[in-house]
Amino acid sequence: MTIVAIEPAEGPLPATGDHGIAFAEAVAVWARIAALSFGGPAGQIAVMHRILVEEKKWIGEERFLHALNYCMLLPGPEAQQLAAYIGWLLHRTKGGLVAGALFVLPGFLAILGLSYVYVLLGRTPLVEGLFFGLKAAVLAVVVQAVVRVGSRALKNGVMRGIAAAAFLAIFFLDAPFPLIVLLAGLGGYAGGRAGLAAFKAGGGGHGSAGGRIVHDAETALGEGLPEHARPNLAWSLKISGALLALWLAPVITLLVLAGPDNVFTQIATFFSQMAVVTFGGAYAVLAYVAQEAVGTYGWLKPGEMLNGLGLAETTPGPLIMVTQFVGFLAAFREATGLSPLVAATLGAVLTTWVTFVPCFLWIFAGAPFVERLRGNRALSSALTAITAAVVGVILNLAVWFAVHTIFTQTRTIGFVGRGFDVPVPTSLHVPALVLALGAAVAVFRFRIGMIPVLLACALLGAAYGLIG
């Protein structure tokens, strides 16, 4: 998660005319991007860059990176929001809605189908073994995320200190993730305003490394701004109001009709809250979701969070789609008066709705004013500090996953009125340890891609389930 510095434009850019890109062609391209969106945000953004910038030349490098910078400042999955922003830039509101929705749809359908398999066949040795293998591989993938994000974000002692403080706060004190994000962001903003060098954003990005840069002037959209991309407060308020109503209407309806203790109400309110504070990417969000869904609500077991992440890692779309699996299981297991599968399906749809409708709200509310964010050092510094804190949060997630994957039993140790889990040494699960170490060697030593590692561990896990 990095910010790429783009120099402010010299004065207002001229409006552009018709770019000549048919809407039907754009829909086909967005569907293609959605089908190829494996591998987390870095891989998804790289796919968009390759197709939209290098292959189609619809937008240039400068505009792509500037749009990415804007999406990095928002809560929610930056890759999905980048798709919505570029779709809006090309074809106005309908373009943004179609691009953002198509980015989510394949993953939603895939995880929904796999969730049915999980609850209906999950106790069979074959399927149980598949998920056992996935959990071990996912542990290696999360550790890789700590290393990857940490290598980019922790460039100095201040950033390392923020990461360490975040880890200690969430691991030992069970501090809420939103509070960690808020404090880190405020500290980074203050440091940026003060001009402190430690808070300056680093370079780098998600685009292709090497190759000829495609400049804005060489693309269909050109250097200028489309007319609809100019600041328009009336449009922004109108579309934001409509999206806010779409987001909150089911939440309020459930609160009034079903009450705050109903599982659907809890799903709607919890994931709506999550949509506001999900800075830092899917791995950071998972720590927050696991903290609440497992510890507070009791919707699922610790190991099942790993199962959900394994599903999200092996299907197209944002990794945050793992929340759909959580909502599915929560509704499936509660006595709602509905068929468990019907309730689970409604839970999955509701979770996806309140998770992603706000993503469109953030994009459309700020899109007309995004040019004003160019070169805003204070905002970039806030995000830099948040990214450093996220490293500590993801490290906590890796430790949490390791404890619940490699050991079958844990015990809670009290600390300052809180508690943290430690493994029971005699409960070490040797096959899980061997598989997790093998996945780590494949990822770090041999640089094997995430998907092959996940599939190989799933197959080994299935074999273990059949013979074990």
Mean per-residue pLDDT of the chain: 83
Q: Is residue 252 part of a domain?
A: yes
User: Which class for 176: exposed (0-12), middle (13-18), buried (19 or more C-beta within 10 A)?
Assistant: middle
Can you tell me which residue has the tokens 């003060």? Answer: 194
Give residue 427's pLDDT. 93
Q: Is residue 9 part of a domain?
A: no
Structurally, the chain folds into a number of domains equal to 1
CA atoms within 13 A on the CB side of 363: 30
What are the Cα distances from residue 259, in Å, to 2, 11, 266, 271, 337?
41, 53, 9, 16, 15
DSSP string, 138-192: HHHHHHHHHHHHHHHH--SHHHHHHHHHHHHHHHHS---HHHHHHHHHHHHHHHH
Q: How confident is the model at residue 386 (pLDDT cuts 50, 70, 90)?
A: confident
Q: Is residue 4 part of a domain?
A: no
Q: Does the model's pTM come out above 0.85?
A: no
Q: Is residue 206 part of a domain?
A: no
User: Which class for 395: exposed (0-12), middle (13-18), buried (19 or more C-beta within 10 A)?
Assistant: buried
Q: Is residue 169 part of a domain?
A: yes
Residue 387's domain spans which residues? 18-199+214-467
- What percentage of the chain reaches a pLDDT higher than 90? 35
Longest Cα–Cα distance of the chain, Å, equals 70
Which of 209-223, 263-277, 376-390 is modeled with the greatest confidence? Answer: 263-277
Structure tokens at 152: 């980019």
Which range (145-154, 178-187, 443-452) has the least confidence? 145-154
Provide the 10 A C-beta neighbour count for residue 47.
Answer: 21
DSSP state of 293: I
Q: Is residue 11 part of a domain?
A: no
Q: Which residue has the higher pLDDT, 179 or 115?
A: 115
Give residue 374's pLDDT. 53
